[in-house]
């Protein structure tokens, strides 16, 4: 019987991790669909940024209430996972609470886990209330309709169930320990679950032991399920926040990249010695697109951004255009980018790893020109993001495509750009009049 | 009054074999927009008063390309940038001051990679350093007791982390500096950025400049201080929309100081 349980447990781990690894590989393949961009410079500053922003959650503190609740869930998640090590060893070798030899240290750890588990439950319950009872605006905007809202609640439910399994398992264990039942020897301290254990009064001990086992299995099965749910949910940030902040743009927010392909052409245009008929120095492949029409035209950091987004909506709640009722929502830019990337991924899976044109593109089918042209490039969204995602960089790359590949700017902007090209100012003034102000009254 | 302005151009200076300490980059707004020209003149008065050795490019100046870049036209931007860099490098410019945060950001952050490496400061930073060096004194007399709220331009604040210099200047005026609920890195855009200055807004339920003017009005200010010609225009329009132009003035930080000096 024991061996059967151990074999089942091993099978669970193999299936759980196997499926997880498969999805991680897919994730990496999809992110690599993006254009290359070098973000390996200045590793010291990058590590520092990651430790401060992802590990230290420095940008969360701006909104103190969710920051504290999030810390409960975040610390709970990381610390309680230490317990996973014991569960895996117990499961594989048929032991029970294998770390109990740690004595007082074990008591402390279990006690600490229990308090954290309680705080996690408290945190997610308040999160649920904020989303479903108080209905905070940022959780209830149009892009959250349907799956995103369901996804958010599902995560809350899974976390609650996991913690309940954990606490009831401990409560049953504690009860059995106090009754001296079978192999349930005294180990651990149970500051939270000892309050639950009275519910077992009057039950026969075999039933309580069964409940303990059900919770133990429920917990580990739940963990395996949750781990594999991540890829399909907004919850990937628990892993991706770290690479996302490491590879973040370290330049001042106002500094937009200068397109290298344009620089070459402009230099050629302006070089009086350039031979316009000269053959290109090296054979060139398909000419590079200016800007981004689809996810493959974005760089891989932007695609990583899309997978990292937790849809918290801080960006959108700070966006001047969204506040004033325009179609633009920076969060939706990230969600649409991920939706498109996932659709591309499915097409690739169905065609042996090759992308086949489906007649759709990120531009128009997922993100409209109206959204793109509303942007103030004010960086409020970038400043807000707790894990340093830049919706703005995607908006800019798509504007570039609209202007440089499609000449599809709003007519007023075309006039402005023509003026700059013709007379060196966004308005129709003669460059020779630039100093007239000096003598005007 | 403006007959007293001394505004040498780089060409004139070069002809005399002189090199100014700093180039004043006036920008398109500062050169052509009637409201912004007043800011330009106020700043020049302060430069003259502090005996700063400066020059302008005059007719050799051209748009930095910023609005084209934000609109997505990288070609127009880089053409402008390369032409400007040739002029600037030709005059061996080392330091640039400008009253426009958009020019400031572009010159400071986006020109170096294209070959234009200069020390670039915003006029509020420059005025602050004149103050620190004792070259400029600020008398606050006429602003005593006035409530002034300061609007952070996105391309000065969030984009380049310049929050304190303009505030320190305003505090010198003996005025009461009152902060809006959204300020510094949480500051709300005036609505002009990202080339929005040059087009009609998309369909929505409010204009961004009105939303921002509401923020300012909540502080019950006598003066809304700006540090960007575009923000100035947007907030002035916002105040007019609220029909408050009789009670609330929108002024650039340079204008505040020039007025205080009664220049």
Q: For residue B8, give its domain range.
A: 2-130
Low-confidence ranges of chain A (pLDDT < 50): none
Q: For residue range B207-259, what is the model confidence (pLDDT) as tens digits? A: 999 999 999 999 999 999 999 999 999 999 999 999 999 999 999 999 999 98
pLDDT at A441: 73
Among B130, B156, B189, the domain boundary falls at: B130
Nearest CA among B255, B228, B21 for reference residue B135: B21
Q: Measured between beta carbons, which residues in chain B are less than 8 angstroms from residue A374?
A: 201-202
Choosing among A271, A426, A428, A429, which should be mutated to test the B contact, i.e. which has the most B CBs within 10 A?
A426
Interface check B79 vs A, CB under 8 A? yes
Does the structure show a pLDDT above 70 at B3?
no
Q: Does residue B126 share a domain with residue B142? A: no
Q: Does residue B163 share a domain with residue B120? A: no
Q: Which strands, in side-by-side order, build the sheet including B54-55? A: B54-55, B22-25, B95-98, B119-122
Measure the CA–CA gap between B129 and A318, rounded to whole angstroms: 33
pLDDT band at B142 (very low <50, low <70, confident <90, very high): confident
User: For residue B236, is it within any domain?
Assistant: yes
User: What CATH number does the domain containing B233 carry?
Assistant: 3.40.50
Q: ipTM beyond 0.90?
A: yes
Q: How far apart, in Å, are the Cα atoms of B108 and each of A4, A421, A423, B9, B159?
A: 69, 22, 23, 22, 11
pLDDT at A1: 55
pLDDT at B2: 47
Measure the CA–CA gap between A202 and A179, rounded to whole angstroms: 12
Nearest CA among A141, A321, A401, A402 for reference residue B202: A321
Rounded to a whole number of angstroms, the distance from the CA of B137 to the nearest CA of chain A is: 24
Q: Does residue B244 share a domain with residue B157? A: yes
Q: For residue range A53-101, what is the model confidence (pLDDT) as tens digits? A: 999 999 999 999 999 999 999 999 888 888 889 999 999 998 999 998 9
Q: Does residue A369 share a domain with residue A274? A: yes
Burial pattern A294-306, b for ≥16 Cβ within 10 A else e, equals bbbbbbbbbbbbb
Assess contact for A383 and B183: CB atoms under 8 A.
no
Closest to A417 (Cβ–Cβ): which among B68, B105, B206?
B68
User: For residue A69, is it within any domain?
Assistant: yes
Long-range contacts of A183-188 (CB under 8 A, 24+ apart): A183/A96, A184/A96, A184/A209, A184/A212, A185/A100, A187/A97, A187/A100, A187/A106, A187/A107, A187/A110, A188/A97, A188/A100, A188/A106, A188/A107, A188/A110, A188/A111
Q: Does residue B163 share a domain with residue B93? A: no
Interface check B208 vs A, CB under 8 A? yes
Q: Measured between beta carbons, which residues in chain B are less than 8 angstroms from residue A429?
A: 28, 31-32
User: For residue A57, is it within any domain?
Assistant: no
Task: State the pTM of this model.
Answer: 0.95
Q: How many domains does chain B have?
A: 2
Residues B72, A380: C-beta atoms closer than 8 Å: no
User: For residue B263, is it within any domain?
Assistant: no
Among B95, B130, B165, the domain boundary falls at: B130
Assess contact for A186 and A174: CB atoms under 8 A.
no
Q: Does residue B144 share a domain with residue B126? A: no
User: For residue B218, is it within any domain?
Assistant: yes
Closest to A374 (Cβ–Cβ): which among B28, B192, B202?
B202
Q: For residue range A312-323, what is the model confidence (pLDDT) as tens digits? A: 999 999 999 999
Structure tokens at A365: 């089918």
Q: Does residue A414 share a domain with residue A359? A: yes
pLDDT at A2: 67
Furthest-apart CA atoms within chain B: distance in Å: 58
Q: For residue A139, give its domain range.
A: 2-31+63-246
User: For residue A51, is it within any domain?
Assistant: no
Closest to A377 (Cβ–Cβ): which among B30, B70, B113?
B70
User: For residue A52, is it within any domain?
Assistant: no
Closest to B40 (Cβ–Cβ): which among A324, A433, A437?
A437
Residues B80, A424: C-beta atoms closer than 8 Å: yes
Interface check B209 vs A, CB under 8 A? no
Interface of B with A in 151-170 (CB under 8 A): 154-155, 158-161
Rounded to a whole number of angstroms, the distance from the CA of A421 to the nearest CA of chain B is: 7
Residue B252 pairs with which residues in a beta bridge? B226
Residues in chain A, overall count:
441
Assess contact for B215 and B189: CB atoms under 8 A.
no
Residues B69, A421: C-beta atoms closer than 8 Å: no
Residues A373, B7: C-beta atoms closer than 8 Å: no
Q: Does residue A311 share a domain with residue A384? A: yes
CA dihedral for A427, A433, A438, B3, sign (positive or negative)? negative
Q: For residue range B114-136, what is the model confidence (pLDDT) as tens digits? A: 999 999 999 999 999 999 999 99
Q: Does residue B236 share a domain with residue B176? A: yes
What counts of helices (H) and strands (E) characterise chain B? Answer: 11, 8
Q: How many domains does chain A have?
A: 2
């Amino acid at each position: 019987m024991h061996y059967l349980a151990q074999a089942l447990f091993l099978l669970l781990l193999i299936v759980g991790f196997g499926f997880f690894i498969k999805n991680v590989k897919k994730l990496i393949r999809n992110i690599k669909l993006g254009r290359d961009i070098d973000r390996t410079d200045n590793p010291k500053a990058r590590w520092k940024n990651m430790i401060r922003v992802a590990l230290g959650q420095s940008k969360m503190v701006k909104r103190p209430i969710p920051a504290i609740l999030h810390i409960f869930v975040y610390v709970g998640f990381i610390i309680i996972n230490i317990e996973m090590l014991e569960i895996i060893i117990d499961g594989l070798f048929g032991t029970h609470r294998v770390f109990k030899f740690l004595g007082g240290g074990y008591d402390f750890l279990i006690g600490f886990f229990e308090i954290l588990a309680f705080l996690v439950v408290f945190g997610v319950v308040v999160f649920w209330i904020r989303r479903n009872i108080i209905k905070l605006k940022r959780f209830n905007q149009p892009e959250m309709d349907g799956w995103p809202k369901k996804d958010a609640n599902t995560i809350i439910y899974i976390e609650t169930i996991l913690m309940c399994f954990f606490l009831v398992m401990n409560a049953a264990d504690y009860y059995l320990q106090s009754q001296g039942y079978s192999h349930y020897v005294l180990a651990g301290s149970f500051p939270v679950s000892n309050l639950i254990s009275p519910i077992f009064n009057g039950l026969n001990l075999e039933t309580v032991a069964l409940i303990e086992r059900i919770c133990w299995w429920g917990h580990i099965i739940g963990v395996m399920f949750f781990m594999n749910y991540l890829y399909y949910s907004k919850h990937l940030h628990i892993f991706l926040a770290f690479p996302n902040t490491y590879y973040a743009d370290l330049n001042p927010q106002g500094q937009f990249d200068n397109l290298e392909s344009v620089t070459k052409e402009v230099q050629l245009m302006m070089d009086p010695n350039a031979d316009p008929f000269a053959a290109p120095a090296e054979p060139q492949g398909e000419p590079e697109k200016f800007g981004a029409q689809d996810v493959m035209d974005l760089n891989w950091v932007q695609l990583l951004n899309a997978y990292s987004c937790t849809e918290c909506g801080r960006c959108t709640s700070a966006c001047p255009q969204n506040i004033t009722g325009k179609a633009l929502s920076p969060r939706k830019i990230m969600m649409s980018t991920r939706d498109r990337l996932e659709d591309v991924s499915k097409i690739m899976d169905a065609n042996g790893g090759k992308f086949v044109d489906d007649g759709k593109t990120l531009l128009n089918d997922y993100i409209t020109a109206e959204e793109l042209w509303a942007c103030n490039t004010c960086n409020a969204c970038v400043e807000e993001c707790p894990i340093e995602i830049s919706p703005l960089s995607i908006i800019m790359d798509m504007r570039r495509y609209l202007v440089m590949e499609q000449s599809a700017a709003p007519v007023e902007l075309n006039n402005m750009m023509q003026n700059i090209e013709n007379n060196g100012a966004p308005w129709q003034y003669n460059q020779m009049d630039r100093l007239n102000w000096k003598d005007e009254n | 009054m403006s007959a007293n302005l001394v505004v040498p151009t780089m060409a004139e200076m070069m002809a005399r074999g002189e090199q100014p300490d700093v180039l004043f980059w006036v920008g398109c707004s500062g050169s052509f927009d009637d409201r912004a020209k007043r800011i330009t003149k106020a700043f020049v008065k302060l430069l003259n008063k502090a005996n700063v050795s400066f020059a302008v490019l005059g007719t050799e100046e051209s748009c930095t390309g910023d609005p084209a870049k934000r609109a997505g036209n990288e070609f127009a931007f880089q053409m402008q940038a390369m032409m400007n860099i040739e002029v600037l490098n030709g005059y061996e410019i080392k330091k640039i001051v400008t009253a426009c945060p958009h020019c400031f950001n572009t010159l400071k952050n986006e020109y170096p990679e294209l070959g234009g490496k200069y020390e670039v400061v915003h006029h509020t930073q420059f005025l602050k350093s004149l103050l620190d060096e004792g070259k400029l004194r600020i008398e606050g007399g006429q602003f005593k007791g006035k409530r002034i709220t300061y609007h952070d331009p996105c391309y000065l604040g969030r984009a380049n982390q310049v929050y304190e210099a303009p505030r320190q200047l305003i505090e010198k005026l003996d005025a009461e500096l009152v902060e809006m609920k959204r300020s510094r890195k949480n500051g709300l855009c005036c609505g002009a950025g990202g080339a929005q200055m040059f087009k009609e807004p998309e369909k929505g339920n409010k204009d961004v400049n009105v939303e921002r003017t509401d923020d300012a009005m909540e502080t019950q200010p006598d003066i809304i201080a700006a540090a960007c010609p575009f923000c100035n225009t947007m907030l002035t329009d916002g105040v007019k929309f609220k029909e408050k132009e009789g009670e609330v003035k929108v002024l650039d930080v340079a204008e505040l100081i020039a007025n205080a000096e009664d220049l």
